[in-house]
Amino acid sequence: MPTSHQIAVSATGLRKSYGDKTVLDGIDLRIPAGSVFALLGPNGAGKTTVVKILSTLVSAGGGQAHVAGHDIAADPQAVRSAIGVTGQFSAVDGLITGEENMLLMADLHHLPKPEGRRIAADLLERFDLSEAAKKPASTYSGGMKRRLDIAMTLVGNPRIIFLDEPTTGLDPRSRHTMWQIIRELVADGVTVFLTTQYLEEADELADRVAVLNDGKIAAEGTPEELKRRVPGGHVRLRFTDPAAYHRAATALNEATRDDEALALQIPSAGSQRELRSLLDWLDSAGVEADELTVHTPDLDDVFFALTGGPATVPHQPKENVR
Ligand SMILES: Nc1ncnc2c1ncn2[C@@H]1O[C@H](COP(=O)(O)OP(=O)(O)OP(=O)(O)O)[C@@H](O)[C@H]1O
Ligand SMILES: [Mg+2]
């Protein structure tokens, strides 16, 4: 019995250890139906482990979760029939054709033959694979295999799909195609749980984002909310004339200097009002930069700030820290 038809995935205190290594140390999730949720995290953070637990491929070491209203531990069969999973590594069988891969999935879903054929043909068409359908999948490019992988996941018409790094290794065009496919699924009311290494992807697609680090959710929110939580917004002034640069650096003694690039960075959220007063101030200080750029924090800043990566102090070149 669904606990709530509005929440597609909920989890409290999910835990998982392999041997004495704790991978997940209490994960809470709440994903509304019909939304896109992106789970981010560095390699080895446990993203795939979360997907495997929620899709009942491995059991949790503790905590509780409901997927499509079904308890993953008590009723894994009901969970499995409500979801589709595209793993991080392809489920495509290269020895048979794309079409045969699709028909195999239709059989696994116990679809009557004619219906299986119809659904397979529709999906192959939708994923732009009709032409290649009769060729062995081993001859497909990486992007084609990935599309076939997701098409196979959709054979059972799942209302919740898990996509573990759906666009890793795809070129920009294939990535945009995949984003379009995901958007269409969501427009049909499907809930999408995706993991990604591409922060731009989370920004493009996700209603909510969670960053997994050290076995815990380090932060969760809309991409905009997360960006607001990290510093990093600034205006960058670049000079070509070293003398002008040094004059400006003396006048703007609060700016962060980048002597090598002849650039100054002034913290700013980038609003129109702030920019106007900054420009007025530069005018009155007689500073004339050759280039002015506004930088707002992006999800990269958030990611690095939360996972202790290289840009813990965003945009501050090391040589300027004295
Ligand atoms: N079957 C297993 N046995 C032992 N350790 C495992 C097993 N599966 C995963 N791990 C460990 O759990 C941790 C998390 O792995 P997981 O695959 O969930 O990370 P991930 O966030 O998906 O990483 P990636 O970005 O590289 O895909 C890693 O340290 C990994 O070595
Ligand atoms: Mg993974």
- Assess whether pLDDT exceeds 70 at residue 322: no
Q: Which CATH number fits domain 229-320: 2.30.30, 3.40.1360, 3.30.70, 3.30.450?
A: 3.30.70
- Assess whether pLDDT exceeds 60 at residue 241: yes
Residue 6 has what pLDDT? 87
- Assess whether pLDDT exceeds 70 at residue 173: yes
Window from 9-13, 143-147, 169-173 with minimum mean pLDDT: 169-173
Domain boundaries, the chain: 7-92+140-228, 229-320
Residue 278 has what pLDDT? 85
Q: Can you give the pTM of this predicted structure?
A: 0.80
Residue 314 has what pLDDT? 40
88: CA distance to ligand 2 center in Å? 6
- Assess whether pLDDT exceeds 70 at residue 262: yes
H/E stretch holding 53 reads helix 47-54
Residue 251 has what pLDDT? 85
23: CA distance to ligand 1 center in Å? 8
- Assess whether pLDDT exceeds 80 at residue 97: yes
Residue identified by tokens 């984002």 is 209
Q: Residue 197 class from Cβ within 10 Å (0-12 exposed, 13-18 middle, 19+ buried)? A: middle
Residue 206 has what pLDDT? 96
Amino acid at residue number 293: T
CA distances for 115 relative to 124, 145, 156, 314, angstroms? 14, 23, 11, 54
Q: What is the pLDDT of residues 148-164, one digit of tens each?
A: 999 999 999 999 999 99
- Assess whether pLDDT exceeds 60 at residue 42: yes
**What is the rounded distance in angstroms from the CA atom of residue 302 to the CA atom of residue 193?**
20
- Could you tell me which residue, 61 or 200, shows the higher pLDDT? 61
Closest ligand to 20 CA?
1
Closest ligand to 59 CA?
1
Which residues line ligand 1 at a C-beta cut-off of 6 Å? 18, 23, 41, 43-49, 88
Closest ligand to 214 CA?
1
Q: Residue 122 class from Cβ within 10 Å (0-12 exposed, 13-18 middle, 19+ buried)? A: middle
- Assess whether pLDDT exceeds 60 at residue 191: yes
Work out the angle at residue 144's Cα, subtended by the Cα atoms of residues 117 and 118, and round it to the nearest 5 degrees. Answer: 10
Ligand 1: which of 15, 20, 21, 23 to mutate, judged by most atoms within 8 Å of the beta carbon? 23
164: CA distance to ligand 2 center in Å? 7
| CATH topology classification for 7-92+140-228 | Rossmann fold (3.40.50)
